[in-house]
Amino acid sequence: MIQNAWLIPLLPLIGFLILGLGNKFLTKSLSGIIASGTVLGSFIIAVTIFLGFLSGENKATTINLFDWINSGTLHISFSFLIDQLSMLMVLIITGVGFLIHVYSIGYMSHDEGFTRFFAYLNLFVFSMLLLVLGSNYVIMFIGWEGVGLCSYLLIGFWFKNQDYNDAAKKAFIMNRIGDLGFLLGIFLIYMTFGSVNYAEVFEGAKGFASGDSVLVVITLLLFIGAMGKSAQIPLYTWLPDAMAGPTPVSALIHAATMVTAGIYMIARSNVLYTLAPITQTIVLFVGLFTAFVAATIGLFQNDIKKVLAYSTVSQLGYMFVALGVGGYSSAMFHLTTHAFFKALLFLGAGSVIHAMSGEQDIRKMGGLKKYLPITYITFLLGTLAISGVPPFAGFFSKDEILALTIGPFSNIIFIVLSFTSVLTAIYMFRVFFLTFHSTFRGTEEQKHHLHESPATITIPLVILAILSTVGGFLGMPRIMSEHHFLSQYLAPIFEFSDLKSEAKAPSEFAEYTIIIVAVVVLALIVLWAMNRYIKKASVPPADDKQTPALRNLIYNKYYIDELYDAIIVAPINWFGKQFNNIIEIQMIDGFVNSIGKTVIWGGKTLRLVQTGAIGFYIFVMVAGIIAILLYNFIR
Amino acid sequence: MKAIIILSALGLATMFVGVYNFKKALLPMILLGLLAVIGINTMEWNTNIHYYNDMLYFDNWAVSFTNLILAVSILVFLLSGQYFKKNTDHLEDNYSIIIFTIIGAILMVSYSNLAMLFIGIETLSISLYILAGSKKTSLASNEASLKYFLMGSFATGFLLFGIVLLYGASGTFHLHGIKDYVIENHASLPTIFYVGILLMMVGLAFKISIVPFHFWTADVYEGSPTLITAFMATVVKIAGFAAFLRLFFTCFSSITEHFVPILCILAVLTMFLGNITAVYQNNFKRMLAFSSISHAGYMLLAIIALKESSFIAILLYTAAYSVATITAFAVLLMIKAAHQENDSIDTFNGLAKRSPFMAFTLTIAMLSLAGIPITGGFFAKYYLFANTISAGYTWLVVLAVFNSAIGVYYYFKVIIAAYFKEGSEEKLSIFPAYQLVLIITAIATLLLGILPGLITEMM
Amino acid sequence: MTDQITHIAKTIPIEHYIYLSAILFSIGVLGVLIRRNAIIIFMSIELMLNAATLLLTAFSTYRSDAAGQVFVFFIMVVAAAEVAVGLAIIVMIFRNIKSIDINLLNKLKW
């Protein structure tokens, strides 16, 4: 079976070709079936191979399709590396991808670009599979560019809106900045190791001393690529804007798969990163800063998809923190659970938006529990999972990362990251309560229109909800189970790094403490949020006036409200605003935009040099010749 | 070599067939002739024959560049059938001059003696001066022709003076003779020899539009008849770079320190000026002109690297670039044939609705020019940059990669116009010959990207 | 007889030929730079070509190598072709705008 792994990317490619060429002739239902069917086919093949790995019957295999480039010293083969890591990614991509395809059949049913949408979606799945299956960096780069292109096409899918086009362009250009780093990294890898194949590169890297400057530069360049693709500071602002695309796109590309490509790349290159501790520290702090800043911004967003987008940025930051401390399998674990619950949340949000006829502002929602029961329950499960409530998926994966951060840098990372978890719970429950509880705040017309979504939408939600609930058992902490399934499964990939890093497992006491504190804090947050958004039916004001604290809860409520408002909410509010205004809008956007502006200004100015007068042209030519001759004589 | 003789006969025959009013038979005859020449030329593969006292030398590079030139010319001729339909008065003249241009280009890729280089360049240039002005009543065409002619012959003056100085120092016009001279007198080369190298460099840099000798490019591309622009943008680039590399690789590769620093500066200037100026162009032909300048900047890196593998790099790059450029011009010609609109990028608005096929091929071409995988443009860039890095010019490649990011901006402008903008709703029909060209170029672009081994392994 | 000419030619040092040609060439370049009349510019370009031709002949004589003088014939043929085409282009321009001042030709720009 493993020899047939090349079918996995081929099927979606065939789907894309059929849909792309037969755009005119296919009915909507047929194109939906073709698109989902090809991804399902890939998923089934992937499962059989995966089972083979579990039973120990499959070994990591390279499937050589053809020699792509073979000239002089440059040998690049078009081949796939089938191992534990790539199969895990393939399962996520095809599995979650299939559910989202099914969901899209319902979600996009009224759209005129239905077939085009599925063609792009299949092309995306193909490129993403190419990215994770490639056995060398060049194939990975091709997939990398491919997913970027699909992301661009899909963000701008509703192209009649100029803002959406701008968002698409922003995403593409920011990603290109990251890609520059990646490409240079590949060149440097080729120069250093004489090959771009993973096997040879990692084998060669093991001969380098830890901290060798070449490795540091390579890993930093690759990390720049990862920052673009996985939306880390300073290249993250495209992701919230990318929410302009249809919601299934946000779920598939901007939550579950494409944005995790950076994580995958670093996990794949773990040998290089383990040998470059400086880069690891940088990865760690970029991830930490991103996780925190994005979470604070998420607190005050009123667009349901924007909140989820910032949450995605924040969770990606978590994964980078895990990579930074050498917990590669923990990062992959969180990537997996995050794919489940974030896809679920986005699809749930999509279901809400669908019911609300396109409304995305949570201030205009409320009380949807009654109208959308299935969406309500599944969204609740997703919220619990992302907030880290035991025993949902996010709890295990997040606590595993938290446990890893105890110790280094005198626990600062642990503290900030824990605090970020608190913020995560706050903004998620805020969104949850504002959307589903209290009374409906929209217009009468919208209210009239409210309905539960069709089965094609709710069934994927239910399946993802189940996965978000049980996904955490892939990796139970030591105190609960001797058997950490995922890290054992991935062990062969990270063998070298696990040997090198002296990351000590946290003490049992620490693990218990984390769990207990987490549960208590989460309970408090839920109570606070219920008080604020259900009892008091507080709605975020259009402007930013702080509502006076009210009292009415179990005990000491006044104290708690005051405490939250004064000590946490107000400063965070301030921080969130500052981060949003100063860092995001002025510094980061400003910086990125100013490059673009400089180029456009340069274009405007430089073209005036082309005066149209032959005399001037010849004058410049002669001046050039004289300069060249002079240069040669003075030298 | 036989290619040149047969093509000359074909060129003469074309002129006479015109006289006897067989205009219908003209194009099929030329196409068959060109195909036959490709076949005959391919038979010289691996023969490495020196012709006429080593005036011409058909090594594998010459054969493959010749085939590339012929293949691109076939595409241009396929486009010409419809293009000249309205104006058949001077059809045979146009055709035969194009054929003579091809002969000049072939001389430029196969010379082994500076005299042949000079004859080749002049045959190519003089023919192009005429072709650029072939729309006799159009002021733009007149202006393009005069500008090209005055600046071109001015640059020829420098090239010629350079040749004379090289001859004065070394006493020979043969490439291998000059090479031997350089090796023997490595330490004590006279000043006139250096000046000769630099002046030849200037003359050749003009042909491939390297800043600051690039000014003609945009104006001439814009003013010339679109089909001729397509021909100029592709065949002249191929021949110019092949000639440049052939001369410098054969003769001067042991004294790189005298011209490589200058070439580095010129390459940087060319890349930046080409890309940045292209950003603000609204005229599609001008945009392609500046894009061709920027591509010249990238290709100059292969000459800076000056290795055997630079030939592959140039071959791949010119192939990918020419194929994509032909696509772009074919789509532009097709739209103009239907509407007589201007050359502005807005012409492409809503193309995806009007003709999804053309929009698709245009997208592939733009992606290839921007260097996005899995197109030929990506692989060619990758190969070129890797080649330059292995020669030790990493900083140049960093700048080049940065520049190709700027390039994405303006190539995507075209894709955005085609897919994301509202334009005329009227469906576009497409001539069969154009469809054929677009299919060939799209497949070639993808093949070059997916299986570049086809070319690299052959070499 | 021919030996005599060669001998006389060689009484002048080669550097002088180089200087003369360089000066002629520079005059040509200068003419192209400062004149506005297309015909005069064209004549200046011809002067540049002739400077090269002169130098080529001198080198050829000094080295007693015929190749250089054969090359001169090539240059003459090419220059003749260039004149034919160039004058035709200038005539075409004159027909359309009734002038051959190159400053009037700046419609293609930016």
Reduce the secondary structure of A35-98 to three states and give it as a string: HHHHHHHHHHHHHHHHHHHHCCCCCCEEEEEEEEEEECCEEEEEEEEECHHHHHHHHHHHHHHH
Q: What angle do CA A226, A229, A234 make, to 5 degrees?
A: 75
According to the model, what pLDDT value does residue A562 have?
A: 46
Q: Which range among A295-309, A497-511, B141-155 has the greatest average pLDDT?
A: B141-155
Share of chain A above pLDDT 70, in %: 86
The pLDDT of residue C48 is: 94
Q: Tell whether omega for the bond before B356 is within 30 degrees of 0, i.e. cis.
A: no
**Looking at the structure, do residues B58 and B169 belong to the same domain, yes or no?**
yes
The rounded distance, in Å, linking the Cα atoms of C50 and C55 is: 8
- pLDDT category of residue A485 using cuts at 50, 70 and 90: confident
- Min CA distance, A207 vs chain C (Å)? 56
Given CB atoms, is A370 within the 8 Å cutoff of chain B?
Answer: no
Q: How confident is the model at residue A479 (pLDDT cuts 50, 70, 90)?
A: low
Distance CA(A369)–CA(A623), nearest Å, equals 76
Predicted confidence at residue A57, as pLDDT, reads 80
- pLDDT band for A569, please (50, 70, 90 cuts): low
Contacts of C102 in chain A (CB under 8 A): 613-615
Domain boundary among B210, B229, B257: B257
Average pLDDT over residues B229-234: 94
* Domain housing B286: 259-459
Chains in touch with C (≥3 Cβ pairs < 8 A): A, B
- The stretch A441-467 carries a mean pLDDT of 82
Find the residue in A nearest to B259 (Cα): A632
Note which residues in 158-177 of chain B have CB less than 8 A from chain A: 158
Same domain, B221 and B341: no
Which residue is closest to C94 within chain B, CA to CA?
B142
3-state secondary structure of C37: strand
Q: Is residue A544 packed enough to be buried (19+ CB in 10 Å), middle (13-18) or exposed (0-12)?
A: exposed
In this predicted structure, the answer to whether residue A553 has a pLDDT above a threshold of 50 is: no
pLDDT higher than 50, residue C78: yes
Question: Is C102 in Cβ contact with A615 (below 8 Å)?
Answer: yes
A chain contacts of residue C40, beta-carbon cutoff 8 Å: none
Please check the confidence at residue B142 and state whether its pLDDT lies above 70: yes
Domain final position from B235, B257, B279: B257
Q: What is the pLDDT of residue B328?
A: 93
A299 alpha-carbon distance from chain centroid: 19
Chain C contacts to B (CB-CB under 8 A) = 14, 18, 21, 25, 28-29, 32, 38, 41-42, 45, 48-49, 51-52, 55-56, 59, 63, 65, 67-68, 70-71, 74-75, 78, 81-82, 85-86, 88-90, 92-93, 96-97, 102, 105-109
Whether chain A has a CB inside 8 Å of the CB on C32: the answer is yes
- Tell me the pLDDT tens digit for each residue of B65-99: 999 999 999 999 999 888 877 766 778 888 999 99
**Cβ of residue C27 closer than 8 Å to a chain A Cβ:** no
Helices (H) and strands (E) in chain A, counts: 26, 2
Residue of A nearest to C36 (CA): A615
Mean pLDDT of chain C: 89
Rounded to the nearest angstrom, the minimum Cα separation between C66 and chain A is 30
Q: How far is CA A205 from the centre of its chain?
A: 28
Nearest by Cα to A95 from A204, A8, A206, A161: A8
Quick one: pLDDT band at residue B125, thresholds 50, 70, 90?
Answer: very high
Minimum mean pLDDT among A166-170, A390-394, A423-427, B264-268: which range? A166-170
Number of Cβ within a 10 Å radius of residue A333: 29
User: Which residues on neighbouring strands pair with residue A79, listed in sequence order?
Assistant: A64
Tally of residues, chain B: 459
pLDDT tens string A52-103:
888 878 788 888 877 777 666 677 788 888 888 888 889 899 999 999 998 8
CB contact under 8 A, B129 and C86: yes
The arithmetic mean of pLDDT across residues A172-182, rounded, is 80
Single-letter amino acid, residue C51: A
Average pLDDT over residues B420-437: 83
Q: Give me the residues paired with residue A77 across strands.
A: A67
Give chain B's mean pLDDT.
89
Prediction ipTM score: 0.95
Q: Choose which CATH entry (1.10.8.100, 3.40.1210.10, 3.60.10.10, 1.10.287.3510) describes domain C2-101.
A: 1.10.287.3510
pLDDT single digits (tens) A502-525: 555 566 677 777 778 777 887 888
CA distance C9 to chain A (A): 30
* Closest CA–CA distance from residue C16 to any residue of chain B (Å): 13
What's the pLDDT band for B157 if we cut at 50, 70, 90? very high
Residues B333 and B211 in one domain: no
If one compares A401 and B298, the residue with the highest pLDDT of the two is: B298
Q: How many CB pairs under 8 A join A and B?
A: 147
Q: What pLDDT score was predicted for residue A434? A: 83
Using alpha carbons only, how large is chain B's radius of gyration in Å?
A: 21
**Contacts B356 to A, Cβ<8 Å:** 23
| Spatial distance between the Cα atoms of B3 and B236, rounded to a whole number of angstroms | 18
Residue numbers in C near B112 (CB within 8 A): none
Look up residue A170 and give its two tokens.
Answer: 């922003």
Contacts of A141 in chain B (CB under 8 A): 373
Mutate to test the interface with A, among C29, C37, C99 (most CBs of A within 10 A): C29
Percent of chain B exceeding pLDDT 70 equals: 98
Window 411-430 of B, Cβ < 8 Å to A? 412, 416, 419-422
Choose the weakest-confidence range: A475-479, B365-369, B453-457: A475-479
CB count in 10 Å sphere of residue A442: 19
Cβ <8 Å between B140 and C92: no
Kindly state whether residues B228 and B270 are assigned to the same domain: no
Any idea which residue has 């492409």 for tokens? B348
Which band of pLDDT confidence, cut at 50, 70 and 90, is reported for residue A567?
low
User: C residues 70-109 near A, CB within 8 Å?
Assistant: 102-103, 105-109
- Sequence letter at residue A416: V
Residue in A610, A613, A618 closest to C32 by CB: A618
3-class SS of residue A631: helix
Contacts of B153 in chain C (CB under 8 A): 42, 45, 82, 86
Contact C103 A607 (CB under 8 A): no
CB contact under 8 A, B136 and C86: no
pLDDT of residue B420: 78
* C33:A622 CB<8 A: yes
At C81, the pLDDT band (50, 70, 90 cuts) reads very high
Residue A558: pLDDT above 70? Answer: no
Cα–Cα distance, B9 to B12 (Å, whole number) = 5
Q: Which residue of B has its CA nearest to A165?
A: B420
Is residue B415 over pLDDT 50? yes
| Structural domain boundaries in chain C | 2-101
Which chain A residues have any C-beta within 8 angstroms of a chain C C-beta? 607-608, 610-615, 618-619, 622
Distance from CA of A624 to the nearest CA of C (A): 13
The residue assigned the tokens 């929602």 is A365
The whole-number average pLDDT for the span A205-229 is 86
C interface mutation test: which of B54, B160, B224 has the most C CBs within 10 A?
B160
Q: Which residue has the higher pLDDT, A422 or B458?
A: A422
**CA distance to partner chain A, nearest, from residue C71 (Å):** 25
Residues of C in contact with B54 (CB under 8 A): none
Among A68, A187, A612, select the one facing B385 at the smallest CB separation: A187
Q: What is the mean pLDDT of residues C17-30?
A: 93
Contact C89 B133 (CB under 8 A): yes
- Strand partners of residue A61: A82
The pLDDT of residue A75 is: 76
Whether residue A550 has pLDDT greater than 50: no
Inter-chain residue contact A603 with B151, CB threshold 8 Å = no
Contact A184 B401 (CB under 8 A): yes
Measured between CB atoms, does B118 come within 8 Å of chain A?
Answer: no
Q: Considering its fold, how many domains does chain B have in total?
A: 2
Q: Which two tokens stand for residue A357?
A: 């006829």
CB contact under 8 Å between C102 and A619, yes or no, is no
Domain match, B244 and B279 both: no
pLDDT in tens, B5-63: 999 999 998 888 867 767 778 888 899 999 999 999 999 888 888 888 889 999 999 99
The alpha-carbon radius of gyration of chain C (Å, integer) is 18
- Whether the per-residue pLDDT at C83 is higher than 60: the answer is yes
3-state helix/strand/coil string of chain B: CHHHHHHHHHHHHHHHHHHCCCHHHHHHHHHHHHHHHHHHHHCCCCCCEEECCCCEEECHHHHHHHHHHHHHHHHHHHHHHHHCCCCCCCHHHHHHHHHHHHHHHHHHHHECEHHHHHHHHHHHHHHHHHHHCCCCCCHHHHHHHHHHHHHHHHHHHHHHHHHHHHHHHHCCCEHHHHHHHHHHCCCCCCHHHHHHHHHHHHHHHHHCCCCCCCHHHHHHHHHCCHHHHHHHHHHHHHHHHHHHHHHHHHHHCCCHHHCHHHHHHHHHHHHHHHHHHHHCCCEHHHHHHHHHHHHHHHHHHHHHHCCHHHHHHHHHHHHHHHHHHHHHHHHHHHHHHHHCCCCEHHHHCCHHHHCHHHHHHHHHHHHHHHCCCCCHHHHHHHHHHHHHHHCCCHHHHHHHHHHHHHHHHHHHHHHHHHHHCCCCCCCCCCCHHHHHHHHHHHHHHHHHHHCCHHHHCCC
Q: Which chains touch A (3 or more CB pairs under 8 A)?
A: B, C
Beta bridge partners, B276, equal none
Output the pLDDT for position B107: 95
Res B248 pLDDT > 90: yes
Q: How far apart are CA B245 and CA B310, in angstroms?
A: 8
Interface touch C106/A619, C-beta < 8 Å: no
For position B242, what pLDDT does the model report?
95
pLDDT score at A611: 82
Instruction: Give me the residue label for tokens 């804007």.
Output: A241
CA B415 to chain CA mean position, Å? 23
List the single residue in B with minimal CA-CA distance to C46. B157
Can you tell me the distance from the alpha carbon of B261 to that of B269, in angstroms, rounded to the nearest whole number?
Answer: 13
Stronger pLDDT, A531 or B278, i.e. the higher one: B278
Query: Which of A515, A584, A311, A554 has its CA nearest to residue A426?
Result: A311
Average pLDDT over residues A561-566: 48
What span, in angstroms and rounded, lies between the C-alpha atoms of A281 and A323? 10
CA of A601, closest CA in chain C: separation in Å?
A: 14
Q: How far apart are the first and last CA of chain C?
A: 60
* Phi, psi (rounded to 5 degrees) for B49: -90, 140
- Are residues B171 and B275 part of one domain? no
Mean pLDDT over A133-160 rounds to 85
Average pLDDT of chain A? 80
Size of interface A-C (CB pairs under 8 A): 27
- Measure Cα distances from B180 to B50, B175, B191 in Å: 17, 9, 18
Query: How far is A424 from A295, CA to CA, in rounded Å?
Result: 6
**Subunits with at least 3 CB pairs below 8 A relative to chain B?**
A, C
Domain boundary pick from B206, B223, B257: B257
Residues of C in contact with A622 (CB under 8 A): 29, 33
Helices (H), chain C: 2-11, 14-34, 38-63, 66-97
Q: What are phi and psi of A134, to 5 degrees?
A: -55, 145
Rounded Cα gap, residues B343 and B337, in angstroms: 12
Q: Decide which of A234 and A547 is more confident.
A: A234
